[in-house]
Amino acid sequence: MDKIKPILFDIYPELEGKVPWIPLLTNLPSKVERLKELEKHLKLEGGEIYIKRDDKVHNTYGGNKLRKFEFILGEALKKKKKGIITLGGIGTNHGLACAIITKELGLKCELNLYLQPLTWHVQRSLLLYDFFGAKLHFTKSFELGVLKSLLFRLFHPKYYLMSIGGSPILGFGTPLGSVGFINAMFELKKQIDEGSLPIPDIIFVPAGSSGTSAGLTAGCKLLELKTKVYPVKVSIDIVVNPKTLMKIANKTLKFLRKRDKTIPDVKVRENDFQLIKGYLGSTYGVKTVRGQNAVDLIYDLEGKSRDFRLETTYTGKTMAAMLDFLEKEENKTKKVLFWNTYNSNDLDKYLRETKFDFEKLPKKFHRYYNNKLFQCWQVTDCPEDIRNKCRAYLNHEYRFWKVTECKLDDNKKNDALEYLKETMNLEDA
Ligand SMILES: Cc1ncc(COP(=O)(O)O)c(C=O)c1O
């Protein structure tokens, strides 16, 4: 595999060797594409919409986590650790990325998982963590997950403790993950200079543990871009708030400046970004009406022809915020970039290999499968010859009945749809 060295190391050569890093990403720079169908749909008047395809940065698992891991796991390997312990909700993408990459690197992976709203995404994620060799532990809450992870680390010094989402929590933890997104901002600047896109007025990006948006904001500041980052809050207050975001951004800048004095002495202030609230719903991971509508709309207009999909926890809510913004008359001329943070590589082939055998998982997770049906093919027991050719099969986020011709007979189909619509539980947010 070609080593794709961080652009930051070219611009600030002192950093190389002083900032831990390992090559993981296989497809850099991630592409920038224009979403013309969406522009038409929104009737923009001179405005333009671009997407940064971080969903394909790695051949197995794309998305935002791997940009962080190049630096965080770089440190873990430098410290000669033999495994990673980390935590997240039971459907954590961070945990899945960690399971996949630790396997690639020959490291062990332990995941402390706490409850989040149950969905098919959660069901499939649990099977995939196990498939990629992670060891799963159930914990009753986020706080207990933190405690258990700290204790595990205490008794297993050969493990590296990676904080939730790969970002510092309450000021604790390494800022290395956000270095990956400062670097990503420099990558984008190069694409701007090469003419792939104009300087965006705004970048929309989900804020879950805030490391991604903090890195992008710090990157804009260093580059003196007029671009403003709009992190969309998709997680609880304790991890997403302006102070935390600023702290992470400034901790990351300080970390870099300590290693290369030529880096400008800039600080991120509260008015350097605009935290967008109102899209989360009652808590992390719930499906909301606006988030789900955004997932369906984008799948239909752009995603199915370009091979990417949004999901309802992060990118759907962020897209919903961007759509609302662009619906406003005064914003019809804006140039915006949607930073796509969710993997779009096909994981279904691995999922099929699990044979959906949830009994292989630790017992505490079995209750998330027994009589818990979220998908049409689960409800109807859809025959293999039909489901194998159907786009709805294994899909996990769009309302498949809106975009799929069901081949089952009408009674069976209608009963299933009735059941699914009732159990979807979309929150009014
Ligand atoms: C798909 C996706 N987007 C965005 C995020 C949020 O990134 P951050 O935790 O850096 O705010 C996550 C975090 O898990 C994620 O899985």
Residue 117's pLDDT is 92
Q: Which atom of ligand 1 is nearest to the CA of 177?
A: 10
Residue 1's pLDDT is 56
Residues 235 and 311 in one domain: yes
- Residue 45 CA to ligand 1 center (angstroms) comes to 31
Residues 121 and 186 in one domain: no
Residue 34's pLDDT is 98
**CA 224 → CA 25, 187, 199, 212, 242, distances in Å?**
27, 14, 11, 18, 20
Residues 195 and 323 in one domain: yes
- Residue 295 CA to ligand 1 center (angstroms) comes to 16
Interatomic CA distance for residues 215 and 67, integer angstroms: 11
Q: Which of 64, 241, 251, 319 to mutate to test the pocket of ligand 1 (most atoms within 8 A of CB)?
A: 64
pTM above 0.85, yes or no: yes
Which helix (H) or strand (E) segment holds residue 421: the answer is helix 410-423
Residue 111's pLDDT is 98
| Domain with 317 in it | 7-63+175-339
User: Is residue 27 within 8 Å of 59, Cβ to Cβ?
Assistant: yes
In a domain, 289, yes or no: yes
- Helix locations, 194-238, DSSP H: 211-223
Residue 192's pLDDT is 98
Domain-ending residue, one of 131, 148, 166: 166
Residue 401's pLDDT is 81
Residue 43's pLDDT is 98
Q: Which atom of ligand 1 is nearest to the CA of 209?
A: 9
Which helix (H) or strand (E) segment holds residue 339: the answer is strand 335-339
Residues 180 and 75 in one domain: no
Residues 214 and 331 in one domain: yes
Interatomic CA distance for residues 123 and 395, integer angstroms: 12
Residues 162 and 214 in one domain: no
326 contact partners, CB below 8 Å, separation of at least 6:
42, 44, 47, 49, 332, 334, 336
In a domain, 351, yes or no: no
Residue 416's pLDDT is 87
Residue 410's pLDDT is 87
Q: Which residues of 314-332 are buried (b: 16+ CB within 10 A; e: fewer)?
A: bbbbbbbbbbebbeeeebe
Domain-ending residue, one of 145, 166, 187: 166
Residues 181 and 289 in one domain: yes
- Residue 417 CA to ligand 1 center (angstroms) comes to 31
- Residue 92 CA to ligand 1 center (angstroms) comes to 9
Q: Which of 233, 341, 344 to mutate to test the pocket of ligand 1 (most atoms within 8 A of CB)?
A: 341
In a domain, 348, yes or no: no
Neighbours of 286 (CB within 10 A): 19
Pocket of ligand 1 (CB under 6 A): 63-64, 93-94, 165, 167, 206-213, 314-315, 341-342
Pairing of strands 159-161, 48-52: unpaired
In a domain, 391, yes or no: yes
Q: Which atom of ligand 1 is nearest to the CA of 341?
A: 3
- Name which of 23, 33, 94, 30 is nearest 56 in CA terms: 30
Residues 25 and 117 in one domain: no
Q: Which atom of ligand 1 is nearest to the CA of 342?
A: 1
In a domain, 428, yes or no: no
Domains held by the chain: number: 3
Domain of 231, CATH number, reads 3.40.50.1100
**Which runs of E-coded beta strand occur in 90-148?**
108-114, 135-139
- Helix locations, 240-288, DSSP H: 242-259
Residues 16 and 134 in one domain: no
Residue listed under structure tokens 């998330």: 368
Residues 162 and 200 in one domain: no
Pairing of strands 32-34, 48-52: antiparallel
Q: Which of 162, 209, 240 to mutate to test the pocket of ligand 1 (most atoms within 8 A of CB)?
A: 209
Q: Which of 121, 210, 212 to mutate to test the pocket of ligand 1 (most atoms within 8 A of CB)?
A: 212
- Residue 406 CA to ligand 1 center (angstroms) comes to 33
Residues 82 and 157 in one domain: yes
In a domain, 360, yes or no: no
Q: What is the CA radius of gyration of the chain?
A: 21
In a domain, 345, yes or no: no
User: Is residue 160 within 8 Å of 83, Cβ to Cβ?
Assistant: yes
Residues 100 and 133 in one domain: yes
φ/ψ of 155, rounded to 5, equals -90, -10
The tens place of each residue's pLDDT in the chain, 429 residues long, gives 567 899 999 999 999 999 999 999 999 999 999 999 999 999 999 999 999 999 999 999 999 999 999 999 999 999 999 999 999 999 999 999 999 999 999 999 999 999 999 999 999 999 999 999 999 999 999 999 999 999 999 999 999 999 999 999 888 899 999 999 999 999 999 999 999 999 999 999 999 999 999 999 999 999 999 999 999 999 999 999 999 999 999 999 999 999 999 999 999 999 999 999 999 999 999 999 999 999 999 999 998 899 999 999 999 999 999 999 999 999 999 999 999 999 999 999 999 999 999 999 999 999 999 888 888 888 888 999 999 988 889 987 888 887 778 888 888 888 888 888 888 889 999
In a domain, 2, yes or no: no
